[in-house]
């Protein structure tokens, strides 16, 4: 089994998602791990220690001076291969960032020689609050592995980012982290590598493979563009930006210096990524021209408008002026990724192709015409993947033909695999 002979500490904090920790614990135990649970006081009010005791076979630790625990905080951390805090509340994240040790869980983390994985779960305003984001960035730099929450319905009845990643994903990530050499699909989890600035002890280095993107500047275009018609109207498209943002997060987590040039989206900027906000294709091209000079990799993931208005009205167009019909003349925008591909001193250049028919043929033709190193083909005729979806499935081509087929998976997983492929090709000097 994937977690045979592994000792884990499962930290549970006072987020409503605490009940999901029971299922995660069950998966860990089924996978062969010996798991000790440390609950905060707030977590104990949500899920009684007796539940975790029954599932783990060990007493649950809460207070540092609790005689009932069968193991102390130093011992607990010393024996663990990994600490997993799921769910991690904003409060516990803040305490860890400050280096506090006021309960069994925080004291165990502070004393730990092993890595800590954190799966935040909270209301989206709490998650997006700059204080929480800064705390997470501090922890990431110290080598904590952050499993970013998802968007969706939250316990407080609102919609937004902050829902804990499914326990199956957390389980798979933990298995991959603990088995990097046994070939248990590490690919796809590159984004969970800690930051390259994180101090690593020898034991910790052994746990994780080297960050492949260290020393590379990666520029990624993402999202839609907006072409103004008049001061209030635009021509745009349905791109959500999710794929480009996932690529930025994955490249950053693999150690690269990432600049995300983004059209209008509602997505939060991934931790540690520099974002430049643009609206029109012309603005995006200018930002790329600025950023490309010292970049080693450029990935064109944006759904750039192929055309813009020949004439932009400076006042709102009214029906009285135009009558029953209005003709707009569009002129072609410059192709941004093709501009990059044809530069004399060109970076490793990656494009995307969203196709509905003759997909492979069109993708290969674009690779040649735009002078790209790699092209990522999306079949947009499928309803279950691509535009606006959380999942994707792609094929990757280089000048010699097909490099990989990446089956349907969350965009974050596809992004990690693409980043692995791109960095491997860059390192080989393709
Ligand atoms: O030709 P098509 O629009 O299908 O090509 C898609 C690829 O080209 C994507 O990588 C997209 O980001 C890029 N592109 C661009 N500038 C444009 C149009 C497309 O960079 N004006």
**What would the pLDDT profile of 14-42 be if each residue is shown by its tens digit?**
999 999 999 999 999 999 999 999 999 99
Question: Which residue has the least CA distance to atom 4 on ligand 1?
Answer: 353
Whether the pLDDT of residue 113 is over 60: the answer is: yes
> pLDDT: is 170 or 81 the higher one?
170
Q: Rounded to whole angstroms, how far apart are CA atoms 418 and 425?
A: 11
Question: Which residue has the least CA distance to atom 17 on ligand 1?
Answer: 335
Cβ–Cβ under 8 Å, residues 220 and 304: no
Q: What is the pTM assigned to this prediction?
A: 0.61
> pLDDT: is 182 or 152 the higher one?
152
Q: Does ligand 1 have an atom closer than 6 angstroms to the CB of 260?
A: no
Whether the pLDDT of residue 189 is over 70: the answer is: no
Whether the pLDDT of residue 13 is over 90: the answer is: yes
Model pLDDT for residues 190-239, shown as the tens digit of each residue: 555 544 445 444 334 434 444 678 789 999 999 999 999 999 999 999 99
pLDDT confidence tier of residue 338, bands split at 50, 70 and 90? very high
DSSP state of 209: P
> pLDDT: is 65 or 99 the higher one?
99
> How big is the chain, counted in residues?
430
How close is the Cα of 414 to the center of ligand 1, in Å?
19
What's the pLDDT score for residue 398? Answer: 96
> pLDDT: is 281 or 178 the higher one?
281
Model pLDDT for residues 231-286, shown as the tens digit of each residue: 999 999 999 999 999 999 889 877 789 999 999 999 999 878 999 999 999 999 99
Minimum mean pLDDT range among 93-107, 146-160, 278-292: 146-160
Quote the distance between the C-alpha of residue 139 and its chain's center: 16
Work out the mean pLDDT of the chain and round it to a whole number.
88
Q: Rounded to whole angstroms, how far apart are CA atoms 206 and 178?
A: 10
Question: Which residue has the least CA distance to atom 5 on ligand 1?
Answer: 353
How close is the Cα of 342 to the center of ligand 1, in Å?
14
Q: Does ligand 1 have an atom closer than 6 angstroms to the CB of 375?
A: no
Mean pLDDT of 414-428: 89
Q: Does ligand 1 have an atom closer than 6 angstroms to the CB of 339?
A: no
Per DSSP, the three-state class of 197 is coil
Using CA of residue 136, residue 412, residue 298, residue 430, what is the dihedral sign? positive
Q: Which of 22, 44, 114, 156 is catalytic?
A: 156
The answer to whether 175 is a known catalytic residue is no
How close is the Cα of 352 to the center of ligand 1, in Å?
7
CB atoms within 10 A of CB 183: 8
What's the pLDDT score for residue 201? Answer: 44
- Is the preceding peptide bond at 87 cis, omega within 30 degrees of 0? yes
Whether the pLDDT of residue 288 is over 80: the answer is: yes
pLDDT confidence tier of residue 66, bands split at 50, 70 and 90? low
What's the pLDDT score for residue 245? Answer: 95
Q: What is the percent of the chain with per-residue pLDDT over 70, rounded to a whole number?
A: 89
Per DSSP, the three-state class of 239 is coil
How close is the Cα of 336 to the center of ligand 1, in Å?
7
Q: Rounded to whole angstroms, how far apart are CA atoms 232 and 92?
A: 44
């Amino acid at each position: 089994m994937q977690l045979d002979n592994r000792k884990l500490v499962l930290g549970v904090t006072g987020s409503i998602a605490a009940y999901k920790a029971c299922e995660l614990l069950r998966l860990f135990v089924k996978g062969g791990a010996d798991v000790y649970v440390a609950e905060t006081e707030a977590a104990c009010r949500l899920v009684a220690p007796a539940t975790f005791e029954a599932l783990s076979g060990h007493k649950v630790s809460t207070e540092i001076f609790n005689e009932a625990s069968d193991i102390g905080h130093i011992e607990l951390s010393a024996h663990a291969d990994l600490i997993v805090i799921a769910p991690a509340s904003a409060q516990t994240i803040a305490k860890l960032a400050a280096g506090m040790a006021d309960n069994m869980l925080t004291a165990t983390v502070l004393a730990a020689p092993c890595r800590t994985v954190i799966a935040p779960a909270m209301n989206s305003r709490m998650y997006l609050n700059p204080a929480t984001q800064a705390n997470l960035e501090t922890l990431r730099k110290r080598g904590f592995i952050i499993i970013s929450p998802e968007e969706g319905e939250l316990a407080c009845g609102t919609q937004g980012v902050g829902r804990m990643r499914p326990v199956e994903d957390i389980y798979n990530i933990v298995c991959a982290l603990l088995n990097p050499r046994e070939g248990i699909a590490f690919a796809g989890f590159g984004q969970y590598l800690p930051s390259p600035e994180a101090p690593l002890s020898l034991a910790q280095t052994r746990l994780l493979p080297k960050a492949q993107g260290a020393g590379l500047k990666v520029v990624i275009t993402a999202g839609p563009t907006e072409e103004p018609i008049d001061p209030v109207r635009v021509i745009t498209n349905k791109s959500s930006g999710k794929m480009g943002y996932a690529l930025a997060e994955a490249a950053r987590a693999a150690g690269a210096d990432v600049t995300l040039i983004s059209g209008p989206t509602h997505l939060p900027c991934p931790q540690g990524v520099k974002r430049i906000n643009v609206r029109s294709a012309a603005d995006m091209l200018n930002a790329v021209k600025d950023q490309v000079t010292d970049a080693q990799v450029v990935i064109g993931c944006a759904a750039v408008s192929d055309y813009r208005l020949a004439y932009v009205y400076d006042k709102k167009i009214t029906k009285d002026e135009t009558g029953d019909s209005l003709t707009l003349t569009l002129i072609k925008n410059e192709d941004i990724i093709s501009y990059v591909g044809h530069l004399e001193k060109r970076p490793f250049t990656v494009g995307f192709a969203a196709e509905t028919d003759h997909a492979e043929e069109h993708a290969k033709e674009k690779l040649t015409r735009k002078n790209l190193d790699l092209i990522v083909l999306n079949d947009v005729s499928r309803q279950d993947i691509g535009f606006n979806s959380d999942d994707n499935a792609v094929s990757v081509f280089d000048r010699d033909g097909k490099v990989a087929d990446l089956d349907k998976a969350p965009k974050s997983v596809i992004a990690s695999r693409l980043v692995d492929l791109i960095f491997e090709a860059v390192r080989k000097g393709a």
